[in-house]
Structure 1
Amino acid sequence: MSASTSVPTIDTLIHSRWIIPVIPEQKVYENCSLAIDKGQIIALLPSVEASARYRPQREVHLNRHLLIPGLINTHTHAAMSLFRGLADDLPLAQWLQEHIWPAERKWVDASFVADGSRLAIAEMIRSGTTTFSDQYFFPEATAEVARDTGMRAELAFPIIDAPTPWSRDAEDALHKGLKLRDDYRTHERIGVVLAPHAPYTVGDETLEKIAIYANELQIAVQMHLHETAGEVQQAEAKTGERPLQRLQRLGLLSPQMLCVHMTEVNDTDLSLLRESGAHVAHCPRSNLKLASGFCPAARLLDAGINVALGTDGAASNNGLDLLAEANTASLLAKALSGDASAMPAHQALASTTINGARALGISDVTGSLEPGKSADLAAIHLGELEQQPLHDPLSQLIYTASGQRVTDVWVAGRQLLRDRGLLTINEAEVIQRARQWRARIAGLPDAEQ
């Protein structure tokens, strides 16, 4: 047999100075390569061996880079990027009721969501995110942008009893959202799940109906929960139950449930989360900026509860950088617990990768660099002055790196970012559309963009 027939041809071979696969845990491989074919990882092996074993159609050399699984943003409101900086330095209730909700009623439509989602997806790709879970109006517009740009996405369609820019009421939202789920039922990168907005915007009757859909159709559920102490106190004063207890009573707490924020957790809450198998989406930077409270991530992780990270929307976070989020989450866990070993670097990275995949129910597809999984990858340049000397690439990733160091991104083997340049999005056009929206919202003529 000739050499040409004995060496298999594959799509891509990526050689990297360092690779952190996340699974196995706390492993850092040096001078190794990922072999990719038909969108999947087929091997992780030493570079010398990889070059001898495979004949790639494309070969990538990342000589000063760290290669990690693509980051997973478990909670955001992508289109709200167009409200970035609109109403800063305000508490949550005032921010929502006096600024964001009125702006949404006036401006949010399918075109707003499409433009805002494209801006957010571009930002997420450039900071290493390959999967995001979005909870916002007109999810069909976000789905279309995600589909066309190559991102992996979960659309958590919002369900609120009152009228919204997208739906007349909860029944209308369910009808539209379930139709969207049918439209994308077989799509390999896009899923659709249920998202009752919050305990104070959705009544028991609607939540019971959502629980039935979730159980019968095996659909995941995402909900803002225990976002502030005030929310929990008002619920207890009104019903005698904490929101988490109410969800348990209504049959919604399960491994399909993603509890977003969870800044207030007592012993009863901890037991309910652990026993139900529900997941938590921790959004530290948004919660800090709105002074909403602190999710006790280290305590939850120690109790065996899966904690993943989300950015929330850029209107309350001002950025969608998950590496910055991991840094904040780790530092916050140490400060809250009084333990410098709380949420170490490897756990912070896991919370942006495999934990996020588990929270979204896609850990068999992505979240780690294992053969058989989708080739969702991010490469981070660690050769700059700010990363020197480099004793530990994992430590440098969490404690010194940021999304601005991400140079290359792949989703399902397709490259979306090369040398910081977007390959599936027209950056100039995205910026121009954002400036037009800014002028419109500010009441300025287009000439004053």
Structure 2
Amino acid sequence: MSHADTLIDARWIIPVEPHATVLERHSIAVRDGAIVAIVPPAERAAWTADDTVSLPNHVLMPGLVNLHGHSAMTLLRGYADDLALMDWLQNHIWPAEGKHVKDDFVYDGTLLAMAEMIRSGTTTINDMYFFHGAVARAGLAAGLRTFVGCSILEFPTPYAGSADEYLQKALAERREFIGEELVTFTLAPHAPYTVSDDTFRKVVTLAEQEDMLIHCHIHETRGEIDDSLKAHQLRPLARLDRLGLLSPRLIAAHMVHMSDDEIELVARRGVHIAHNPTSNMKLASGIAPVQRLLDAGVNVGIGTDGAASNNKLDMLSDTRQAALLAKVGSLDPTAVPAATALRMATLNGARALGLGAKTGSIEVGKRFDAIALDLAQVETAPTFDPISHVVYAAGREQVCDVWVDGRHLLAARTLTTLDHTALLAVAESWRNKIAAR
């Protein structure tokens, strides 16, 4: 007889690896936060557990990896809508952030975002913002696997006054959380249009010295490319390549406007891409060439971006949008099929973050970062193909259970680490403050 801490019996398991596989009526055995066995029906009687979870009409699958977000900006959800990117940033978002962004804003906004993400099936967030200690503390409070992107710009904000100060604070705050299993700091130069050549060079050097990932907005709009040609006589990617930024350390957010040569370049350099389909549509940035990138061997994950430009942190929705946008953008209905989209939202994101050996799929030896969706709803009946349903039909309200590192963060739709009522009160308090200003 074999024993586990937790045994989960599921109607369907989508392991993601092997690709496009569905296991029926299997069980997952978890011990000390790790997957120790995937148990077929014939061997189920040989297992006992301290805790057994029955999911008779459910899909069990890896947790979703949100590869690009600005969690604290959830407090600015709906604050400025239906605007072009630079108008939205320069005339609305940056002024509001200048008035309100401090440690408490970031902690409260990030915690609110993490509650939403957990309830939507996200188990890992690759964030980018300010007051990095607040982001890390929120991640630890929520139990979410958290990558803390330390924003770097040339101009002052309430957090820092110069590029060097951003870098110094990033490294200082990082030191406070070394050894925390669920918290990883990254360097996050904002974008080519807000960061100088000299600062990019410093970021590359620091990333190599400290063994850190780099997270940056790149090629989000045509205007960004046109402005770079005027200022540098180079497209942003070519400029960043000269500066040494393009490498497997880099997670490039957006990458909407790309030539064939640029696709070949990022494939050769091993760059990872965070595709943000809903944000790109809402800000009219364009349609990223996702299928062409995948065909070239580029690792592409999916992100929600922030709630101020999405306006929800719903990775299931963005996974669906990624599949549909790839089809309409290429006029090819076979582009980014459901299993590929699901892989982008899980294992591809994990690999971009250096977690491919730890999470992103249901495999023996990996940490148990997983979610369950209840398909016994009229919206997902009948079920012929669970993978198709997860991508094209299921909604975040069907996410019933979430585990990170074996810890049960959402149990039967109830948050176990966060207080739902208290979060609503905090959000309302911030709404009143922001509206009053």
C-alpha distance in 2, partners of 1:13/1:107? 46
Query: For residues 218-233 of structure 1, what are the structure 2 equivalents within 5 Å?
Result: 218-233=211-226
**Match of residue 65, structure 1, among 49, 58, 61:** 58
**Match of residue 410, structure 1, among 403, 410, 413:** 403
Using structure 1 for the length normalisation, give the TM-score. 0.96
The corresponding residue for 1:32 is: 26
Q: Deviations over 1:371-414 (max 9, x none)?
A: 11110000001110011111111101111012111000000111
Identity of aligned residues (%): 47
Query: For residues 17-416 of structure 1, what are the structure 2 equivalents within 5 Å?
Result: 17-52=11-46, 54-416=47-409
Deviation at 1:182, TM superposition (A): 2.2
C-alpha distance in 1, partners of 2:86/2:5? 51
Q: Which sits farther off after the overlay, 176-185 or 349-358?
A: 176-185
Q: Deviations over 1:215-244 (max 9, x none)?
A: 222211010000100001110122111111
C-alpha distance in 2, partners of 1:51/1:156? 46
SS at the partner of 1:213?
A: helix
The corresponding residue for 1:4 is: none
SS at the partner of 2:308?
A: helix
CA contact (8 A) 1:35 1:50 kept: no
SS at the partner of 1:380?
A: strand
SS at the partner of 2:187?
A: strand
C-alpha distance in 1, partners of 2:92/2:375? 40
SS at the partner of 2:323?
A: helix
Q: In the alignment, residue 267 of structure 2 is paired with which amino acid?
A: R
Deviation at 1:93, TM superposition (A): 1.0
Deviation at 1:287, TM superposition (A): 0.8
Q: In the alignment, residue 117 of structure 1 is paired with which amino acid?
A: T
Q: In the alignment, residue 375 of structure 2 is paired with which amino acid?
A: L
SS at the partner of 2:66?
A: strand
Question: Does 1:426 find its partner at 2:419?
Answer: yes
CA contact (8 A) 1:21 1:27 kept: yes
C-alpha distance in 2, partners of 1:266/1:51? 56
The corresponding residue for 1:16 is: 10
Deviation at 1:45, TM superposition (A): 1.8
Q: In the alignment, residue 193 of structure 2 is paired with which amino acid?
A: Y
SS at the partner of 2:285?
A: coil
SS at the partner of 2:4?
A: strand
SS at the partner of 2:388?
A: helix
SS at the partner of 1:58?
A: strand
Alpha-carbon distance change, 183 to 47 in structure 1, aligned in 2, over 3 angstroms: farther
Deviation at 1:268, TM superposition (A): 2.2
C-alpha distance in 2, partners of 1:202/1:341? 39
C-alpha distance in 2, partners of 1:217/1:123? 32
Deviation at 1:181, TM superposition (A): 2.3
Q: Deviations over 1:49-105 (max 9, x none)?
A: 1331x2200000000100010100010000000000001111111111111000000
C-alpha distance in 1, partners of 2:265/2:174? 29
| Gap regions ≥5 residues in structure 2 | none
Q: Deviations over 1:407-435 (max 9, x none)?
A: 00000111000111100000000000001
CA contact (8 A) 1:357 1:363 kept: yes
Count matched residues: 437
CA contact (8 A) 1:15 1:47 kept: no
C-alpha distance in 2, partners of 1:217/1:89? 40
CA contact (8 A) 2:128 2:148 kept: yes
Q: Which sits farther off after the overlay, 256-265 or 180-189?
A: 180-189
C-alpha distance in 2, partners of 1:280/1:195? 14
C-alpha distance in 1, partners of 2:330/2:113? 33
C-alpha distance in 2, partners of 1:245/1:217? 25
C-alpha distance in 1, partners of 2:88/2:197? 26
C-alpha distance in 1, partners of 2:428/2:12? 39
C-alpha distance in 1, partners of 2:190/2:395? 30
| Gap regions ≥5 residues in structure 1 | 1-6, 445-449
C-alpha distance in 1, partners of 2:266/2:412? 42
Q: Deviations over 1:189-208 (max 9, x none)?
A: 11001000000111001101
Deviation at 1:48, TM superposition (A): 4.3
Q: In the alignment, residue 307 of structure 1 is paired with which amino acid?
A: V
SS at the partner of 1:317?
A: coil
Using structure 2 for the length normalisation, give the TM-score. 0.99
Deviation at 1:140, TM superposition (A): 0.8
Q: Deviations over 1:153-208 (max 9, x none)?
A: 10010011111121111111111111222222221111001000000111001101
SS at the partner of 1:353?
A: helix
C-alpha distance in 1, partners of 2:114/2:38? 28
C-alpha distance in 2, partners of 1:372/1:179? 33
C-alpha distance in 1, partners of 2:49/2:144? 24
C-alpha distance in 1, partners of 2:54/2:83? 46
C-alpha distance in 2, partners of 1:303/1:441? 45
